[in-house]
Amino acid sequence: MQTLKKIIFNKPLILWLWFGLSFFAVAKDVVVHFSNKETTHNNYIIYKHNFLNLKNQHTLYGPEPQYYKDLNHYGPVFGLVIAPFALLPNQAGVILWVMFLAFVLYYAVTQLPLNNSQKLVILLLNVNSMMGSSGNVQVNSLIAALVMFSFIFIRKKQDFWAALMIILGTAIKLYGIVGLAFFFFSDNKIKFILSLVFWSVVLFALPMLISSPAFIIQTYRDWYTDLLAKNMENLASTRTNVSVMGMIKKIFLVDNLSNMLVLVPGMIVFGVSMFRIKYWRNLKYQLLGLASVMIFSNIFSTGSEPPTYVIAFIGVSVWYVVLDRPITGYERFLLIFALVLTNFSPSDLFPRYLRDKYVIPYALIALPCLLIWLKIVYEMLTRDFDRKAEVLELAVLQNKA
């Protein structure tokens, strides 16, 4: 037991795993592509051309098979985010981009209002999902960090910067819009709303600095059309739609199921759980809200795919570290279930036969997260956050944060 604790709370080891495995995941493919004199990482080339097409006023959402497979689905603001890396040679740019994403998510975790041990547990639980996201050169770790920063800034009463995080995340990939849920935790809701309006205008206009107003306006129209087409594509895909809707459709073969029949009840349940007004300033209630938001963003999105669950698993980890101790057998089961099916199943740590035969075809990656999300909702609706012992525990957390 002491040896296990030394591993779990060994910060240098966890940092080596967090950054080292992410570096290995991206660098090994760079070496292979470089030796074959090919381009590197299709996703990164898509990101790079978001910037290049923005600068050259070439449509961001048309096919460019001469450069990359698939299509770009990110907003024009993303072109400005990727610009410093896109200006570098591909091999250097992709490695620095991935390490930048690993650092941003790491930094977001370190800024949560938790003690150091809890932060280390969150990092350790997410080493594998971070490695998977890095290997696929995904942008989802950035989105996860932006959602967390919106929560962190609201906690610090810095609504102006919280609004920037939400609008930036939404302008890159629509997942970022879930940060609006933290509106309930704001002490200055008028300032928060005005800040959202301000940053919406600024980020809408900002790409015009390297492009033109007419092109950007048309680009946003094209993005809307692209997202509608992408959603239709997700519904028929075996790899995407790793969500509650996807599970129902794939397990029960309900092809004509309307997403709204699942999404609307989910939103209602989520909204009710966030509406215990007297606890809006309670730290544990807020942290459970953060966990709920991050899991919700994946399990109710038709665009979710295995690497996307780096967002949800941060939520799972936050839920785990704020559980009442000692945890119950069911809570322990839920964590192990999520580690195995959500975290490990997309990787080589999981039997390929089971992954290809059952997990991917039936979108089972979403199942543990759904069960944990329902558990979080139940806790937010029923837990007595005013208990004396819990108040004392929160004081300890705040002192150590």
Q: Which domain holds residue 149?
A: 18-55+65-400
pLDDT reading at 391 higher than 60: no
- Taking the model in full, what pTM does it have? 0.92
User: Which two structure tokens, joined as six digits, stand for 139?
Assistant: 């942008």
Residue 374 domain-assigned (yes or no): yes
Which residue, among 26, 20, 46, has the nearest Cα to 136 in the 3D structure? 26
Q: Is residue 7 part of a domain?
A: no
Task: Give the per-residue pLDDT at 7.
Answer: 67
pLDDT at 389: 42
Distance CA 9, CA 14 (A): 8
CA 91 to CA 61: how far, in whole Å?
24
Looking at residue 256, what is its pLDDT? 82
pLDDT at 303 over 90: no
Span 369-382, average pLDDT: 96
- Closest by CA to 316, choosing from 341, 340, 334, is 334
pLDDT above 70 (res 370):
yes
Q: What is the pLDDT of residues 28-86, one digit of tens each?
A: 776 555 544 455 688 999 999 999 999 999 999 989 988 888 899 999 999 999 999 99
CA–CA distances in Å: residue 229 to residues 71, 110, 318: 11, 38, 34
pLDDT of residue 399: 47
pLDDT score, position 388:
42
Structural domain includes residue 5: no
163: in domain: yes
pLDDT for 144-198, tens place per residue? 999 999 999 999 999 999 999 999 999 999 889 999 999 999 999 999 999 999 9
| Residues 306, 242 contacting (CB under 8 angstroms) | yes
CA distance 145 to 229: 27
For residue 231, pLDDT beyond 90: no
Higher pLDDT, 378 or 70: 378
- Helix (DSSP H) and strand (DSSP E) numbers for the chain: 19, 0
Alpha-helical (H) ranges within 111-188 are 116-125, 127-135, 140-155, 159-172
Contact 167, 203 (CB under 8 A): yes
Count structural domains, the chain.
1
CA dihedral 14, 138, 132, 329 (to 10 degrees): 80
Is 3 within the bounds of a domain? no
Segment 235-277, tens digit of pLDDT: 776 678 899 999 999 999 887 888 899 999 999 999 999 999 9
Is 373 part of a structural domain of the chain? yes
Domain-embedded: residue 111: yes
Contact between 328 and 341 under an 8 Å Cβ cutoff? The reply is no
Q: How many residues does the chain have?
A: 401
Per-residue model confidence (pLDDT) at position 9: 76
Mean pLDDT of 335-355: 93
pLDDT of residue 395: 47
